[in-house]
Structure 1
Amino acid sequence: MISGSVVALVTPMHSDGSIDWQALSRLIEWHIEQGTDGIVAVGTTGESATLAMDEHKMVIKACVDQVAGRIKVVAGTGANSTAEAIELTKVAYEVGADACLLVTPYYNKPTQEGLYRHYMAIADAVDIPQILYNVPGRTACDMLNSTTIRLAEHRNIIAIKDATGDLVRGKELIDAVGDKLAVLSGDDATAAGLMLLGGQGNISVTANIAPAAVKAVCVAAMAGDEAATEAADGPLRILHERLFVEANPIPVKWALLAMGLMEDGIRLPLTVLSDVEQPRVRDALNQAGLLD
């Protein structure tokens, strides 16, 4: 079972865009020390769209090797090509990842039947726990609850990352498949609310810079403690908002730079956070007590 606070880990890079393996190792150790329950390696926050296939595989393996079974490692293996998604998922299985995260195919806009067949093909091809990922705001593809309900029957499909931010829809999904799938939030701004409704965790961008605080929100919300959830999540709300002033992971990578945890590397077509937005993100970091 994948649950609790799971960080959608950035892929740290040097200023020239090459992967910073030492920074990756340091980040992983920091997350383990801070109580993070799991790491997503090379998800969309990890710039999966711009990593070469070999790099993608290498980062997954590096994360699995570094973690060494201490927490869960979820490999981002989604693609808008079913064959490519199967290839990446096979690699994740071979290197020992605990599960895979599979974003809905982006740009080519499949039908609901196409989505069902895509995910079933991957689940049939690779015997590893798999997490569906619905983020229509980024992919132009929305997997309806009815399709998720159909997919929940496959033994290899164990969870869904719901990044719609729609709590009504999320509660309907929890009620429909909660005995078969873990429903995880993929939207920091509404994650606490979804967990209070029965969601089993948060795959978080904010956890990149505030892992212990996000873990505290998850613990309180999954226990159904509304007052403790409010106390834990309240100070993070400005971060939840301002980490999306430009396309993710632009702001969160800059925040990690400001915290001294990595260089400013990011790959085109993404660019370093603009001068206009830097003061707003720095202010959010200060308000959350994350800068000295």
Structure 2
Amino acid sequence: MQRRVNGAITALITPFRDDTIDTVGLMTHVEWQLLSGVDGLLACSLTDEGPVLTEPERSRIIDICVELAEGQVPVIVATGTNDTATTIAQTRQARKLGAAAAFVTLPYYSKPSQKGLVHHFEQLADNTDLPLIIHNLPAHTAIDLASATIARLAEIPTIIGIADGSGDIARIGTWRPLLPERIGLYSTHDASALAFIIAGGRGSFSSAANIVPRLFHSMQLSAGCDHLAAARLIDDRLRPLFKALAREPGPATVKHALSLMTGMSCEVRLPLTGVEAETDSAIQTAVASLQPDCHSHALSPSTFGLGL
């Protein structure tokens, strides 16, 4: 039976040192997320700098996540590109490496028609058997899902979710009646994640969870159990962090926060660059306000039983 994807899913970062994946740092970070109770791991997404990872790097990251998760939580892999054939190939590879689902962004730059979007996902479903979560992120792709397209995509049996990064909570009310129960709605917008869950969302793919996995999971869990007062208190505490991280592109700000907390390298790959001074100040203030909730565990590779 297909395992349902729920709750707080961390959109992981990839730590680099000298333009090479810091394998020990990645293993330590993934284990911290798991020990903190997150409900899933998203690998190779925009937060993970997926577009600039080589195929061997993608495989290594997926391998580490799958082996450390040990089936306790689903490992979802971002496989979407602006080319249908490449998307199919990356989705097949994710399936081979043990991913539970593929996270597929709408084809960027090409700006296909709504008809083209449907055919893109039909081809993907016809050529792979991995469950699919569609990622709608208009700010990055310059296209948006129309309601009629949502209804057509709902007919594809391997689609199990739609993740939206627009921050528009009203979409839940518009889209939910068009979707069968098997298709969950997810947020990829941290600042509106709580409102999204309250409105009927099934979970959130979160960049901020890299920094505060336990708090973010607690907020999602509280909201899911209708403990809304507790969830709102946590959300209020996290708002300065959400605001600071949103000042510049996600990987750079998240890595900067982690470097302040744990000493992890804040290196990013071009065309991304490190954060500006004002963003650094905002992140420092936000992180300081959350201590001791945002801290890392001192773990070594031997803890994991993994070879390097």
- Which TM-score tier does this pair reach, normalised by the shorter chain? over 0.9
2-side partners of 1:291 and 1:77: how far apart? 30
- Report the equivalent of 1:238: 240
- 1:270 corresponds to which letter in structure 2? L
- Report the equivalent of 2:69: 67
- Report the equivalent of 1:20: 22
Pairwise mapping of residues 104-253 of structure 1 onto structure 2 (< 5 A)? 104-177=106-179, 179-253=181-255
Q: 1:145 to 1:242 in 2, by over 3 A?
A: farther
Pairwise mapping of residues 81-100 of structure 1 onto structure 2 (< 5 A)? 81-100=83-102
1-side partners of 2:120 and 2:52: how far apart? 22
- Report the equivalent of 1:33: 35
Q: 1:175 to 1:234 in 2, by over 3 A?
A: farther
Q: 1:176 to 1:266 in 2, by over 3 A?
A: same
- 1:269 corresponds to which letter in structure 2? P
- 1:84 corresponds to which letter in structure 2? T
String of CA shifts for 1:15-52, please: whole Å, max 9, x gaps.
x2211111110011101110001000111110011112
Secondary structure of 1:155 counterpart: coil
Structure 2's unaligned 5+ residue stretches are: 296-308
- 1:133 corresponds to which letter in structure 2? H
- Report the equivalent of 2:300: none
Select the residue among 12, 17, 23 that pairs with 1:9: 12
- Report the equivalent of 1:103: 105
CA RMSD of aligned residues (A): 1.4
2-side partners of 1:180 and 1:73: how far apart? 18
- 2:179 corresponds to which letter in structure 1? V
Contact persistence 1:171–1:194 (CA under 8 A): no
By how many angstroms is 1:291 displaced?
Answer: 6.3
By how many angstroms is 1:118 displaced?
Answer: 0.7
Secondary structure of 1:102 counterpart: strand
By how many angstroms is 1:261 displaced?
Answer: 5.1
Q: Which moved more, 1:225-234 or 1:104-113?
A: 225-234
1-side partners of 2:214 and 2:14: how far apart? 20
By how many angstroms is 1:110 displaced?
Answer: 0.7
String of CA shifts for 1:115-172, please: whole Å, max 9, x gaps.
1111111111111111000011122121223212211222211011111110112222
- Report the equivalent of 2:279: 277
Contact persistence 2:40–2:74 (CA under 8 A): yes
- Report the equivalent of 2:299: none
2-side partners of 1:220 and 1:41: how far apart? 25
With normalisation by structure 2, the TM-score equals 0.91
Q: Which moved more, 1:174-183 or 1:159-168?
A: 174-183
Number of equivalenced pairs: 291
Q: Which moved more, 1:85-94 or 1:268-277?
A: 268-277
Q: Which moved more, 1:235-244 or 1:221-230?
A: 221-230
Contact persistence 2:212–2:294 (CA under 8 A): no
By how many angstroms is 1:246 displaced?
Answer: 0.7
Q: 1:188 to 1:153 in 2, by over 3 A?
A: same
With normalisation by structure 1, the TM-score equals 0.96
By how many angstroms is 1:284 displaced?
Answer: 0.9
Q: Which moved more, 1:186-195 or 1:282-291?
A: 282-291
2-side partners of 1:133 and 1:156: how far apart? 15
Secondary structure of 2:267 counterpart: coil
Structure 1's unaligned 5+ residue stretches are: none
By how many angstroms is 1:75 displaced?
Answer: 0.7
Q: Which runs of 4+ in 1 moved over 6 A?
A: none
Matched-pair identity in %: 34
- 2:71 corresponds to which letter in structure 1? G
1-side partners of 2:180 and 2:14: how far apart? 32
- Report the equivalent of 1:257: 259
Contact persistence 1:23–1:261 (CA under 8 A): no
By how many angstroms is 1:248 displaced?
Answer: 1.4
